[in-house]
Amino acid sequence: MNAPGRDPHPRGWWAMVLSDIHFWVPLAVLMGGLLLLRFIR
Amino acid sequence: MLPVSSSQFPAAIQDASRPRKLQLLGILSGFAAGAWLGAAEAPTKLVSIGISPMVISLIMVIGVFLARWSLPALILGTSSVRADVRQAPHLIIWALLAGCLWAVANTLTIFAIRDIGLSIAFPLWNSNSLLGILWGFLFFNELHQAGWRRRVGVLGGALVMCLGATLLAVASSARGPAAHSLHGVWAALGAGILWGTMYIPYRKAYLTGMNPLSFVTFFSFGELGTMTVLSVSSLGLAPLWQELLSARSVIFWLMLGGFVWVIGDVFQQYAAKYVGISRGIPLSNSNQLWGLLWGILVFGELHGRSSSIYLEVIGGSLLMMLGVGAIAFSSATGREQIRWREAAIRESDRYGVATDFVEARMDGRQVLGEAKPSRSGLDWLLVVAATGVFVTFAAMARVPQMSLHWGPAAVLTALLFLFLVICGLTLWRTTRFN
C-alpha cells in the first residue's frame, strides 16, 4: 500500500512542504494573529 | 492537471449512491458540530469572575489536549493514528500549524467575549465562513463546475450570514464598556480569520486521506504548545502557577468546555471532509445560534436591554441561519466532486501518497486488505488517565457564583446528546469513523 514514488528521506517532503503555498498562507495568518494578540494585550 | 479517469478512482463509480450518502453525512456532521461548538463557549463566561483570559484559554486547551488523545484512542485506537502517519507523514506539520492557529484564535475569542459579550462576539468570528469559501475555491477546487444555482446558494448564503453578523455588530455598539468594545471587535474578527485559515490544513489532510481522528491527535500538540508559550510569556511562570492554583475550583468547568469543544470539532472535521470547507464551515457556524441560546437562556445575557437590541440580535441570528440553510441545500454535484478528486490526486502526486489509500479514505472506507483498527492496552491507559484527570478536578470543582438558569441548561444539554447519538451512529454505520 505504500506509494512507490515516495521519497524515503524526510528532507524530500520537507522541501515539498516549504515550496507549498498551503503552508505559507496559514503561517502568515498565524503571525498576524500573534501580532494582533500582542496589540490587544 | 489531467482530468480524473475512472481507472484512477474505480471504486468511486461503483456505488452511485455513496457520494450522496457522504454528502448527507457531512451536512448532519456540520449541524452536530454547531450544537457542540456553541455549547463549548459557555464556560468562557467564567471570564467575568476575574480569571486572566490567558489562563482560561490555557485550561481549556489542557482539556482539549486530554480529549484529543483519549477520544481517538477510545473510538479507533492509536494504531489507526500510526497507520495514517505512515501514509502521509507530512500532514503532521499541517496538523501542528492548525493547532497553533486554533490556540491563538481561541485566546482572541476570550478577549472578545470579555469586551463585547458572547452573543455579539460569536457572529463576528463566524465570518470565518467567507474565508473558508475563498480558500476552498482557490486551493481545493471547491465550487468549481458547481453550477450557478449552487454557487449562488453558497455565496448568497454566506453574504446573508454577513448581513446578520453586521446587524449583531450594530447591536454591540449599544452594549459593554466603550473603552474595550473596539478591541473586542478586532479580537473577534481576528479569531474569524485565524479559524477560517485553519481549514486549509483541515481540507489538505482530508484530501490526502488522513482520518479526522488522527489529524486532531497531532493538532493537539500545536495548540497546547502555543498556548503554553503564550501564557508563560504573557504572565510569567510563577504568576501563571499562582493563577492556576487560585482557579482550581473552576478548572474542571473550563476543561469540560475544552472537552465539549473537541466533540464539536470532531464532527466539524467530518463535515469538512465530506462536504468540503466552503460548506462545512458555514454549517458548523450554526454554533452561533446555539451560543445565542446559551448566552440568553442560561446566562441571562442581554437581560434588561431594550427590546430593539433583542430584535437586532434575534433578527441577525435568523439571517445567519437562513444563510446556513441556503448553503446546506447546495451540496456538491458529481462534476464538482470530480474536481475535488483532481485536487486529491494533485496532493497524492505531490507528496507521494498511495492513490488507493486516498481514494478509499475519500469514500469513508478502508483500503482493501488494510488491518482493522484495534485498541491496545496503551489506548485504555490513555482513556483511564484522561478520565482520572477530569475526575480529580471535578472533585475540586465548585459551581461558580453566577446567575445561571439550570432548566434551560438541562434542555440544551439533552439536545446536545441527541445530536451526539444520531450523528455518531450515522457516522459509524456509514464509515466506521474512517
What's the pLDDT score for residue B193? Answer: 93
Closest CA of chain A from B229, distance in Å: 12
Of B237, B246, B225, the residue nearest B56 (C-alpha): B246
Query: Which residues 19-38 of chain A have a CB within 8 Å of chain B?
Result: 20-23, 25-27, 29-30, 32-34, 36-37
Tell whether A18 lies on the interface with B, counting CB pairs under 8 A.
no
Query: What distance in Å separates the CA atoms of residue B321 and residue B318, rounded to the nearest whole number?
Result: 5
pLDDT tens-place values along chain B, 434 residues long = 334 444 444 444 456 678 888 888 888 999 899 999 888 877 666 555 667 778 888 888 888 888 888 888 888 888 888 888 888 888 888 899 999 998 899 889 888 877 877 667 777 787 788 888 888 888 988 888 778 888 888 888 878 877 877 776 666 555 554 456 788 888 988 999 999 999 899 888 888 888 888 888 888 889 889 988 988 888 888 888 888 888 888 888 888 888 888 899 889 888 888 888 888 888 888 787 787 788 888 887 777 777 788 788 778 878 877 887 787 778 777 788 888 888 888 888 888 888 888 888 877 777 777 777 778 888 899 889 999 999 999 898 877 677 778 899 899 999 999 999 999 999 988 888 87
CA angle in degrees (0–180, nearest 5) for B334-B335-B337: 65
Q: Which of A18, A27, A36 to mutate to probe the B interface, most B CBs <10 Å? A: A36
CB contact under 8 A, A3 and B355: yes
Instruction: Convert B305-338 to b/e letters by CB count within 10 Å (16 or more is b).
Output: eeeebeebbbebbebbbbbbbbbbebbbeeebbb
The C-alpha cell 457522504 sits at B22
The residue of chain A nearest to residue B183, with distances taken between CA atoms, is A40
Of A23, A21, A32, the residue nearest B201 (C-alpha): A23
Cβ pairs A/B, distance under 8 A: 92
What's the pLDDT score for residue B13? Answer: 46
Tens of pLDDT, residues A7-35:
445 557 788 888 889 999 999 999 999 99
Ordered DSSP codes for B153-212: HHHHHHHHHHHHHHHHHHHHTTSS-HHHHHHHHHHHHHHHHHHHHHHHHHHHHHHTT--H
Q: What is the 3-state secondary structure (H, E, C) of B407-427?
A: HHHHHHHHHHHHHHHHHHHHH
Query: What distance in Å separates the CA atoms of residue B133 and residue B152, rounded to the nearest whole number?
Result: 12
Of B130, B219, B127, B119, the residue nearest B176 (C-alpha): B119
What is the CA B221 to chain-centroid distance, rounded? 16
Q: Where are the domains of chain B?
A: 14-431
What's the pLDDT score for residue B12? Answer: 45
What's the pLDDT score for residue B6? Answer: 40
CB contact under 8 A, A6 and B108: no
What's the pLDDT score for residue B306? Answer: 77
Q: What is the ipTM of this complex?
A: 0.82
CB contact under 8 A, B350 and A40: no
